[in-house]
Amino acid sequence: MNNLISAFIGALISIMLMFNGTLSNACGNYTSTVIIHIVGFFAIILLLLITKSKIKIQKGIPLYLYSAGAIGVFTVLFNNFSFAILGASILIALGLLGQSLASIIIDHFGLLGMKVIRFNKKKLIGLTFITLGIFVMTIF
């Protein structure tokens, strides 16, 4: 089930990227980023109301964890900058490469409190395929 959900999320990210990039072309990078996050704010509020969930803020959460919101803003903004130049396919592929490299480093060294999962040669095969895919997409 988690694999299916993850694949669905991947499809949603592709659609979101296209919508965000098109909105950015129409309104500008900064304005579209503000609009995107305001709409996201109202969407989560609506979801909270529908599910009757409450916002829970716990004490003792490390301050750096709150930076995820800023990372989200910069992710949308940088995607909007790149979308018009690179297009959706290359942008997604490069993003996947960056996510994979960062994840491997985080796992290998146990950064940010994660369990250590050492790098092995199997992961190198996956990175090679991603890199070759990017190379093929940029050449053809």
pLDDT tens digits, residue range 85-137?
999 999 999 999 999 999 999 999 999 889 999 999 999 999 999 999 999 99
Distance CA 130, CA 89 (A): 12
Looking at residue 99, its amino acid is Q
pLDDT tens digits, residue range 60-88?
988 888 899 999 999 999 999 999 899 99
* Length of the chain measured in residues: 140
69 and 106 co-located in one domain: no
CB 32 within 8 A of CB 20: yes
Last residue of a domain, one of 71, 86, 101: 86
41 and 75 co-located in one domain: yes
77 and 13 co-located in one domain: yes
CB 77 within 8 A of CB 30: yes
Place of tokens 């996510």: 99
For the chain, give the percent of residues with pLDDT over 90.
Answer: 84
109 and 99 co-located in one domain: yes
Local confidence band at 36 (pLDDT 50, 70, 90 cut-offs): very high
Range of the domain at 39: 1-86
41 and 81 co-located in one domain: yes
6 and 17 co-located in one domain: yes
Q: What is the DSSP string of 95-111?
A: HHHHHHHHHHHHHHHTG
47 and 66 co-located in one domain: yes
The tally of domains found in the chain comes to 2
The pLDDT value recorded for residue 46 is 97
Whether the full predicted model's pTM is greater than 0.85, yes or no, is no
In sequence order, the 6+-apart residues with CB closer than 8 A to the CB of 36 are: 20, 23, 76
78 and 103 co-located in one domain: no
25 and 69 co-located in one domain: yes
Q: What is the DSSP string of 12-36?
A: HHHHHHHHHHHHHHHH-HHHHHHHH
108 and 40 co-located in one domain: no
79 and 104 co-located in one domain: no
126 and 92 co-located in one domain: yes
